[in-house]
Chains A and B, each alone.
Chain A
Amino acid sequence: MRHASIGKLFSSVRMLSTGALALGVLAAHPASAVEIEYWQYVFESRVQAMDELIKEFEAENPDITVKQVTFPYADYQTRVVAAKAAGKGPDVVQLFYGWLDNFVAGGLVQPLSKEKFPAADIEKDFFPIVSAMKRGEDYYGLPTAVRSMALFYNKNLFKDAGLDPNKPPQTLDEMIAAAKATTKQDSAGNFQTVGMALDIARQDHNWWREILIRQFGGEPYSADGSKVTYDSDGGRKALDFYTGLQTGEKVGQEGFMDEGQAAFRAGLAAMVIDGTFRLASFNTISGFEWGVTELPAAADGTRSNYASYFANAIGGTAEGEKLEAAEKFLAFISSEKAMNVWLDKVGELPARKSVALSEKNLADPIYGPFIRGLNYAHTTLFVDEAAQRQITIDMVNSVLLQGQSTTDALNAAAAKEQQLIDKRKAN
């Protein structure tokens, strides 16, 4: 008897829930909904920001649903390529500006329609670095946000070392002095606190490439990006400076705390060079106060910065209804409103000049230095960012771990990179 009544209860619950489910399904999918897919790589704050933008977009456009699909950064390009090969590409896809050549060659993206996205407007509203998305007369995508680099510093450690936490170093020499003052080692010579967190695998390779080389009188690449030019005096001096931070000045150590930003987060590094995308992570730091300042200038005042961005493009396989929906979505996520959300949630700088260069943003103690850096920023025309970064990592490692001379390491890296560029450009 007990079984029978439980059974009845169970089946009526089942019926009710099935009914509710069916109603829910019906309600969620209006008959004429277009579903488009948006792809980007996995990074918690970006995914969350995009979720919010998608919610707002779907509220304004009830007949469009957007599905966000994410991949780990390392496999991202392969996944897009494989999907296109299987005929199931995304409708809106995010790509690193440096991947554009590959993506265009593979038909993974299509040019933006000139009526919906007029070139004149793009060039007026966005920072000049958006030109890296142009091939011939066509723009292939638009960034929601751009990133630049700055010097993060730990105010508490500065105070402890007797430095003024509100006057961070402005030149490279001042930076070294501050690093030396804040470095602490134990009796065995192991680092307890490093003055400067070194991490060639993360952002330091960009610091060396677009900033240090220039500050020491060299140029990393020729203007069109086809020739490696850092195997010069300026390049060698820059490499000497960077590796010297560990070997000469002894203010840092590659691999300390596994990653530079981990050392900074843990309060064990006084300074670290990193980009805007690190802000979301550093904002959760509760153990100490930190500040941001523009990347140090050379002794003669030369400043440089590295700006990069991920742009959103229309997938090569989008057409008809989906193409229209995709274009609407792209316009939405490149709008001023979206950029402010992105700034808030991800900490990346708005790609539109009007939004970025607002008084409020320029005066912001955190965003200000980054935005000012955009004015004199360069962007590298990578052919294969992962491979080129690996060449730089290996170059630094061969100096630090194998004792190779900086000249030899530099020349070897330049040769390898030139080979890589030549191979890619030839295809």
Chain B
Amino acid sequence: MTTQSAPTTTAAGKYRFRPGLIVAWTLLFIGGIIMITPLLFMFSTSLKTAGQVYDLRLIPAAPTFDNYIRVLSDGRFVRWFLNSSLIAVVVTASCLFFDSLVAYTLAKFDFAGRKLIFLAILSTLMIPTEMLVIPWYLMSSKLGWLDSYWGIMFPGMMTAFGVFLMRQFFETVPNDFLEAARVDGLNEFQIWWKIAMPLVTPALSALAIFTFLGNWTAFFWPLIVTTDKDLYTLPVGLSSFAVEQSIQWEMIMTGAAIATIPTLLIFLFFQRYIVRGVMLGGVKG
């Protein structure tokens, strides 16, 4: 059995039962287990009582959900989870809408200044958010946006990365489709919404994944703009919770677990889409 050409599978071809590959497989497997060891210990510790924390076995002797009950009972984590969800969903929706709109305009419309605007937007990728947080903070302070959902969300509502990504894909949309729609009397907005957008759904899902993940795990700006505990996002809340817990590790691990479980579940269900989306975004980006 020699190699077969199967363009959608491994580029290296299929090798069966070569000893080298078995070694590689084993090493990769062990490496993978090592990769998730922190997660395993996190879950394991969250199921232990304070006294058992020092017993470093992976499987707790007497697993208990007490920590989870204690941590979730005061409602803070639920609150933080809802905050993060709301913010991530809203920002993702906004990015999907506006980034695509801008990208479509830059790809399909012909007007003076098109190139300039694209370059200008692209140039914002070079500006690190760390440089902008101080002016953002001052702006928010003056406009009363501190300690508000809008304050957390506004910097991310549109992104240059999204514009760049979507533009790549819109350029591949055949102009004939759009022309036909124009002839049918649809206005430009409808053409974009009804004709062009459905043709780029892989890109949209890739953008959605990146944006959602980025906003879900965002720490720096939410840390700065919020001081009201009720408005913390999950990462910021977890951080303050951990510091407050006076190093009660079983509680901290429980908090970390609660913060991690949602993304893990989503990944388990949508693994194929997420990986495909990341590949798409990274390769085209």
Question: Contact: A44 with B244, CB < 8 Å?
Answer: yes
Q: List residues of chain B with CB within 8 A of the CB of A69.
A: 227-228
Tell me whether B116 is interfacial, beta carbon within 8 Å.
no
Output the residue of B54, B228, B240, B247 with the most chain A CB within 10 A. Answer: B247
Count of interface residues, chain A, beta-carbon cutoff 8 Å = 21
CA distance A71 to B228 in the complex (A): 7
Output the residue of B227, B228, B246, B248 with the most chain A CB within 10 A. Answer: B227
> Which residue in chain B gives the minimum CB-CB distance to A82?
B141
Question: Contact: A265 with B227, CB < 8 Å?
Answer: no
In-complex Cβ contact of A259 among B51, B54, B141, B246 (8 A): B246
Q: List residues of chain B with CB within 8 A of the CB of A42.
A: 229, 240, 244
In-complex Cβ contact of A257 among B227, B229, B247 (8 A): B247
Tell me whether A24 is interfacial, beta carbon within 8 Å.
no
Q: Could you tell me the distance in whole angstroms from the C-beta of A326 to the nearest C-beta in chain B?
A: 21
Question: Contact: B229 with A70, CB < 8 Å?
Answer: yes
Range of interface residues on B (Cβ < 8 Å): 10 to 19
Tell me whether B7 is interfacial, beta carbon within 8 Å.
no
1/0 per residue, CB under 8 A from A, across B223-247: the answer is: 0000111000000000010011011
Question: Contact: A79 with B246, CB < 8 Å?
Answer: no
> Which residue in chain B gives the minimum CB-CB distance to A75?
B227
CA distance A415 to B3 in the complex (A): 73
CA distance A103 to B247 in the complex (A): 32
Tell me whether A365 is interfacial, beta carbon within 8 Å.
no
CA distance A88 to B146 in the complex (A): 11
Tell me whether A40 is interfacial, beta carbon within 8 Å.
no
CA distance A411 to B29 in the complex (A): 54
Tell me whether A85 is interfacial, beta carbon within 8 Å.
yes
In-complex Cβ contact of B141 among A44, A71, A85, A265 (8 A): A85
1/0 per residue, CB under 8 A from A, across B50-83: the answer is: 1100100000000000000000000000000000
CA distance A261 to B247 in the complex (A): 9
Tell me whether A72 is interfacial, beta carbon within 8 Å.
yes
> Which residue in chain B gives the minimum CB-CB distance to A70?
B229
Question: Contact: B246 with A261, CB < 8 Å?
Answer: yes
> Which residue in chain A gives the minimum CB-CB distance to B141?
A86
Chain B residues 258 to 275 lying within 8 A of chain A, measured CB to CB, are none
CA distance A259 to B244 in the complex (A): 12
Q: List residues of chain A with CB within 8 A of the CB of B240.
A: 42, 72
Tell me whether A163 is interfacial, beta carbon within 8 Å.
no
Question: Contact: A82 with B146, CB < 8 Å?
Answer: yes
Q: Could you tell me the distance in whole angstroms from the C-beta of A43 to the nearest C-beta in chain B?
A: 8
Q: List residues of chain B with CB within 8 A of the CB of A86.
A: 141-142, 144, 146
> Which residue in chain A gives the minimum CB-CB distance to B239?
A72
Q: Could you tell me the distance in whole angstroms from the C-beta of B250 to the nearest C-beta in chain A?
A: 11
Q: Could you tell me the distance in whole angstroms from the C-beta of B55 to the nearest C-beta in chain A?
A: 13
In-complex Cβ contact of B246 among A71, A72, A265 (8 A): A265
1/0 per residue, CB under 8 A from A, across B110-150: the answer is: 00000000000000000000000000010001101010000
Q: List residues of chain A with CB within 8 A of the CB of B227.
A: 69-72, 75, 79
> Which residue in chain A gives the minimum CB-CB distance to B236?
A72
Q: Could you tell me the distance in whole angstroms from the C-beta of B15 to the nearest C-beta in chain A?
A: 46
Q: Could you tell me the distance in whole angstroms from the C-beta of B241 to the nearest C-beta in chain A?
A: 11
Closest 10 CB pairs of A and B: A262-B247, A71-B227, A86-B141, A258-B247, A259-B247, A82-B141, A79-B227, A281-B246, A72-B240, A262-B246
Identify the A interface with B (CB < 8 A): 42, 44, 69-72, 75, 79, 82, 85-86, 88, 257-259, 261-262, 265-266, 281, 287
16 contacts between A and B (CB under 8 A): A42-B229, A44-B244, A72-B240, A72-B243, A82-B137, A82-B141, A86-B141, A86-B144, A257-B247, A258-B247, A259-B246, A259-B247, A265-B246, A265-B248, A266-B54, A287-B51
Q: Beyond A72-B240, A261-B246, A265-B246: 5 further Cβ-contacts under 8 Å?
A: A44-B244, A71-B227, A86-B144, A257-B247, A262-B246
